[in-house]
């Protein structure tokens, strides 16, 4: 089992546990108090409605140009939206309960309005943190999908290395003229990076960042342990893996295939869904404030 398979296994185990927990909660709803029953039912219905909205949007945007097909990845994403929507709504309710108890304990006048303001701030903070985290950690990556042999030129010497698949790479960009680029086939076609695999030809130059893993077996190394150097040589083999100490340019000696501008679809959709839920709850609490203010005004006008 490779590292990626292990991560998927752990993730699916946690997801299964979460789904089973939700099922147990819904099964035991009759044993809960009236408030908890209402919350579970309300959060379950809202979560299902959110999934239906995503499904409807995906159906109509996809069905415009091709036959609608729900892939296994799409099914997993919809299940994740259902689970995390339910969890987020319950987290919001828990925070609201704790904050309400704190307000009642202090005995502040206008506690219900204050609770709404507090929950608006809480959801604003969560949305802000998610957006900040997304901008930092959800950068688009270019990924090598086929192992290839390459060459590094360093201090006038050439070194042959092997770059494994799933390595992230970078490339140089240049300023282009819109008039020159929008000619011929480019006038009617545009690349779809989300679903395309590209070919890089031999002699193409790419950039590998520091700490990238490569294989180089034409050398000997010393084993370093607690600042000491071994007196014997260790010879690198084809199964030896090294890390780059700095950014390097690599010239391809064989063709390879790559993916461009890829992000983690699961993390992306969950972050987006969290922001949607947070802003939806903000609108909900603002609506509650407005209704409460309107009711108080109408009561004040009664003779």
- Are 109 and 61 found together in one domain? yes
Mind listing the pLDDT tens digit for each residue in 249-301? 999 999 999 888 777 777 888 888 999 999 999 999 999 988 888 877 777 65
Mind listing the pLDDT tens digit for each residue in 156-203? 888 888 888 889 898 887 665 555 555 566 677 776 666 688 899 999
Burial class, 140, CB count within 10 angstroms (exposed 0-12 / middle 13-18 / buried 19+): exposed
Residues 6 or more apart whose CB falls under 8 angstroms from that of 83 comprise: 15, 18, 19, 22
179 within a domain of the structure (yes/no) = no
pTM higher than the cut 0.95:
no
Mean pLDDT of 135-148: 82
Q: What's the CA gap between 164 and 256, in Å, rounded?
A: 11
| β partners of residue 11 | none
| pLDDT classification of 137: cutoffs 50, 70, 90 | confident
Number of domains in the chain: 2
CA-CA distances (angstroms) from residue 286 to 85, 120, 200, 217? 20, 8, 53, 64
Mean pLDDT of the chain: 78
115 within a domain of the structure (yes/no) = yes
- Are 13 and 132 found together in one domain? yes
- Are 271 and 135 found together in one domain? yes
Token pair of 244, please? 């780059």
Burial class, 262, CB count within 10 angstroms (exposed 0-12 / middle 13-18 / buried 19+): middle
Phi-psi region of 69 (alpha: psi -120 to 50; beta: other; left: phi over 0): beta
246 within a domain of the structure (yes/no) = yes
| pLDDT classification of 20: cutoffs 50, 70, 90 | low
Print the domain residue range for 280: 3-139+264-301
Tokens 């809960």, located at residue: 32
66 within a domain of the structure (yes/no) = yes
178 within a domain of the structure (yes/no) = no
103 within a domain of the structure (yes/no) = yes
- Are 160 and 121 found together in one domain? no
Mean pLDDT of 230-253: 81
- Are 278 and 215 found together in one domain? no
- Are 235 and 90 found together in one domain? no
Burial class, 231, CB count within 10 angstroms (exposed 0-12 / middle 13-18 / buried 19+): exposed
Mind listing the pLDDT tens digit for each residue in 67-123? 777 777 778 888 888 888 998 998 999 899 889 888 888 877 777 888 999 999 999
Neighbours of 87 (CB within 10 A): 15
51 within a domain of the structure (yes/no) = yes
- Are 228 and 275 found together in one domain? no
50 within a domain of the structure (yes/no) = yes
| pLDDT classification of 6: cutoffs 50, 70, 90 | very low
Q: Are the C-beta atoms of residues 81 and 54 closer than 8 Å to each other?
A: yes
Q: What's the CA gap between 258 and 8, in Å, rounded?
A: 22
CA-CA distances (angstroms) from residue 263 to 135, 138, 276? 12, 6, 19
Q: What's the CA gap between 303 and 295, in Å, rounded?
A: 15
Q: What's the CA gap between 79 and 22, in Å, rounded?
A: 12
- Are 152 and 256 found together in one domain? yes
- Are 135 and 146 found together in one domain? no
- Are 203 and 295 found together in one domain? no
- Are 135 and 278 found together in one domain? yes
- Are 133 and 204 found together in one domain? no
């Amino acid at each position: 089992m490779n590292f990626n398979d292990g991560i998927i296994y752990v993730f699916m185990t946690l997801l299964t546990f979460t789904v089973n927990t939700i099922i147990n909660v819904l099964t035991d709803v009759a044993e809960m108090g009236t408030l908890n029953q209402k919350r579970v039912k309300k959060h379950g219905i809202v979560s299902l409605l959110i999934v239906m909205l995503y499904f409807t949007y995906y159906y109509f945007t996809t069905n415009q140009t091709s036959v609608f097909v729900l892939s296994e990845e799409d099914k997993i994403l919809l299940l994740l939206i259902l689970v995390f929507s339910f969890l987020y709504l319950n987290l919001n309710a828990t925070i609201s309960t704790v904050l309400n108890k704190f307000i009642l304990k202090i005995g502040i006048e206008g506690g219900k309005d204050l609770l709404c303001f507090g929950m608006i701030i809480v959801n604003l903070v969560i949305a802000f943190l998610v957006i900040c985290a997304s901008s930092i950690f959800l950068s688009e990556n270019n990924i090598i999908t086929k192992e290839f042999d390459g060459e590094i030129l360093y201090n006038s010497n050439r070194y042959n290395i092997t770059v494994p698949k799933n390595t992230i790479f970078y490339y140089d960009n240049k300023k282009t003229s819109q008039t020159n680029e929008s000619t011929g086939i480019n006038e009617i076609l545009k690349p779809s990076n989300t679903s395309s695999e590209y070919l890089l030809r031999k002699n193409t130059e790419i950039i590998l960042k520091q700490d990238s893993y490569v294989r180089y077996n034409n050398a000997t190394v010393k084993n370093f342990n607690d600042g000491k150097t071994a007196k014997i040589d260790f010879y690198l083999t084809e199964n030896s893996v090294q890390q780059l100490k700095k950014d390097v340019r690599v010239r391809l000696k064989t063709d390879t295939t790559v993916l461009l501008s890829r992000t983690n679809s699961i993390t992306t959709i969950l972050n987006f869904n969290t922001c949607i839920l947070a802003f939806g709850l903000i609108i909900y609490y603002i609506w509650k404030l407005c209704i409460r203010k309107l009711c108080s005004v109408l009561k004040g006008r009664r003779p």
